[in-house]
Structure 1
Amino acid sequence: MTTALLTHPDCLEHVTPSGHPEQVARLTYVLDAIKDIDLKQYKAPLAAEDDLLRCHPQGYIDEIRAKEPTVGFRQLDEDTHMSFGSVNAAWRAAGGAVKAVDLVLGGEVKNAFVATRPPGHHALADAPMGFCLFGNVSIAAKHALDFHGLDRVAIVDFDVHHGNGTQALCENDPRILVVTSQQVPLWPGSGEPSDRGQAGNIVNIAFPPQASSDQFRKVYEEQVFPQLEAFNPQLLLISAGFDAHKDDPLAELAFETEDYTWVTERLVDVADKCCQGRVVSVLEGGYNLDALAVSAAAHVKVLEERGR
């Protein structure tokens, strides 16, 4: 077996204004950092309309397609922009996550990393948010359930910002367990532990500013891994944001690069126990380019080692 890497040059054509934290260089840094890891490479395909419709209404899909500018930028909200090329990038970000599920569940690879942009875990059903256009991981989860016939899929989101879009898209589906850990308080202002979602299938983990590696590991050992094992997923999806790193400029947590090695190893342990090691990881945030690169490489190195 092996580890798949899904990416596409189109994802470099989604350009944001100068100084915007969600920049093209994020993906180039990640791809350069993992270039020497032995991965089986695939081009992320454009998402099929049916897959987008699992999470987004037709009107919203049409609206995103129509809003792509021919020159310059179009601002969709205070944080989210489109350029010429954003449509193909967004369709490939969602399509890459779906294709990764197909590869893993089809037995072609043991696990997969989807290195695309724009990210997805803030996108709502009918609105872009927080740099995100489509709910990539949520779309992948529902594809695994509806197309492949799984009964239980788990999503773990360790991005520093609350995966509010993932929660909104999945909280009425008890087939999906969403575990999302985040700094609280922090944008987008949600993610309190008391919020369990409509079907009680959401686990929100709140870390205070300056939370350390020890706090991160303790909470995951005591809360996250036991709940994952109790749910016994048939597939584990990861929203892999690396902005809880101590050097990230958009947050105030104090996690180290080694924490991403550790959490990936422990998540693969759970996947080995519950679902034959079937893991699909999808890139989310991370805005210090150097910290993002080394953290993503640490994460992917574990996937590759455990995917052999």
Structure 2
Amino acid sequence: PPGHHAGPRGIVTCANDPDGSHGFCLLNNVAIGAAYARSMYRNEGIRRVAIIDFDVHHGNGTEEIVRQLVPNVERAAIRTPFASGMIQTPTYRPWLDENDIHDVFFASTHGYGPRDLRFADHLNPAQGGWFYPASGKTRTTDAILSPSNIEHPNLTDFLHSQTWTRMGEDNRSNCCKIINIGLDLPRPHDVPGMQRVELRDSYRKNILPHLLDFDPDMIFISAGFDAHKKDTMNFGYVGMVEDDYEWVTEQLVKVANSCCNGRIISVLEGGYKIHGGIISPFARSVASHVRALVDGGSSRELYDKQDGEWESQFERHMVEDKERRRQMKMERLRPPHTDTEARRYHHARQAHHLPPSVETRGQRARSDSHAEMDDLMNESLDIQQHQYPHHNAHVGTKENQSDEEDEPSRKRRRNHVDYKELYEQMKKEGFSG
């Protein structure tokens, strides 16, 4: 089973979920593997380990285990018929030594917010329930952003006094190298597909550059496939597709090639859309992930920071261009209601103003902007022949010449038929009803 929700003592709680749960997890496999590699293979050069989690749910168990690399104080309330009080217990759970907090890196991208978008803007978004596990708000610790300003714990004092009260929770948390990217639910007015670009940008701008600077000796992936847009367990959060899983994996492999001779390990987490067997969203996502691991290891391609900004702008242009074309298709279905609109359609046909077609990786878009505008105008002129016959009697129609590669082909549009004249012609030719 998956494991990234299992903490040091199993259940992990947070302010938005004070009870917590195991989240289908028994043992935190990826944390156990990272700790084992750092402890047992340090003589082979494995000292700095990184864990990257792209499951749709926050890896709260893994994060809590990483936070326990700093001395901590656990508190528990007790109550008896005669008294009540609070027990405080100093704890410290290192993987190897006092350098753990410098040599362990954790990053997670996930959904964060209410399960129901109707409660997103309310003062109490939890009214409709939090998206599990209700933790993981976007934050990058100071140990990554400004390590020189961090006050690190004095472990010698802690071991001698067995107390740890001076630093406080925030200071202790900042000692660990942790990045959380909590992604929001898409809003109705958002451009469709833009949340996928936001996910990729979170890696380009926040995770991958810091991971490269961390310079790990081994990278572990908490590979959860429940962020797929067809997986109902994500309540609409993230909305990845197979290409996104392949892209994220490719980038992580490039960092591994740049930093640690390609040493990368993938551990399965979530993924529940299994209906369809080998063609299910889960199976296709896993196949994309594994293919990127194999191909990336064979190519030995290195990560280049400069490619990220260009890719981000290019992908945003593609998404916005696709949305513009979709809006134009919707607009053409609306018949013109005035002579002014009819004339505007006619002038637009002559102008041929459409955004240029975009080439996607590995395939060329076959759309022709002029043919697209002709197709747009033909339908509007057909409609005008019914509503404005005195304006359009001289205007003919033209068959559609091209179509978008990623959309179903259109049926050939029929010309206006005079059924009375057709009936008279059929009688002359000897047809009888």
**TM-score normalised by the shorter chain: which range applies?**
0.5 to 0.7
Cα offset, 1:307, TM superposition: 2.9
Q: Does 1:201 align with 2:145?
A: no
Any gaps of 5 or more consecutive residues in structure 2?
12-21, 70-99, 114-130, 142-172, 187-193, 275-279, 299-433
Q: Structure 1, residues 87-129: CA drift from partner, whole Å, max 9, x if none?
A: xxxxxxxxxxxxxxxxxxxxxxxxxxxxxxx111001122251
| Higher RCO (C-alpha 8 Å, min separation 6) | 1
Quick one: structure 1 residues 138 and 273, their matched pair in 2 at CA, closer, same or farther if it must change by over 3 Å? same
Shift of 1:193: 2.2
Give the aligned partner of residue 65 of structure 1.
none
Stretches of structure 1 that go unaligned for 5 or more consecutive residues are 1-117
One-letter amino acid of the structure 1 residue matched with residue 178 of structure 2? I
1:254 pairs with 2:239:
yes
Q: Does 1:272 align with 2:257?
A: yes
**Counterparts of 2:60 and 2:281, CA distance in 1:** 24
Report the more deviating stretch, 158-167 or 202-211: 202-211
Match 1:298 to one of 281, 288, 293:
288
Structure 1 letter corresponding to 2:255: V
Q: Counterparts in 2 of 1:200-219, with a 5 A limit?
A: 200-210=176-186, 212-219=195-202
Structure 2 partner of 1:283: 268
More helix by share: 2
Q: Secondary structure at the match of 2:259?
A: helix
Taking the aligned partners of 2:197 and 2:297, their CA distance within structure 1 comes to 27
Q: State the percentage of identical aligned residues.
A: 42
How far apart, CA to CA, are the structure 2 residues paired with 1:292 and 1:146? 33
Query: Residue deviations 1:199-248, cap 9 Å, x none?
Result: 23111011111362111111110111101001000000000001111111
Corresponding letter in the other structure for 2:292: V
- Assess if the C-alpha contact under 8 Å between 2:55 and 2:226 holds in 1: yes
Root-mean-square deviation over aligned CA pairs: 1.4
Contact 2:139 2:181 in 1 (8 A): no
TM-score, with structure 2 as normaliser: 0.43
Structural mapping, 1:5-24, within 5 Å: none
Alignment of 1:1-308 (within 5 A): 118-127=1-10, 129-149=22-42, 150-171=46-67, 172=69, 173-174=100-101, 175-185=103-113, 186-194=131-139, 196=141, 197=173, 199-210=175-186, 212-251=195-234, 252=236, 253-289=238-274, 290-308=280-298
Helix, strand or coil at the partner of 2:257: helix
User: Aligned partners of 1:159, 1:254: CA distance in 2, in Å?
Assistant: 11
Counterpart CA distance in 1 for 2:283 and 2:174 is 36
Moved more, 258-267 or 119-128: 119-128
Who wins on radius of gyration, i.e. which is larger?
2
| Deviates further, 118-127 or 225-234 | 118-127
Paired amino acid for 1:263 = V
Q: TM-score, normalised by structure 1?
A: 0.60
Q: Secondary structure at the match of 2:108?
A: strand
Post-superposition shift, 1:198? 5.2
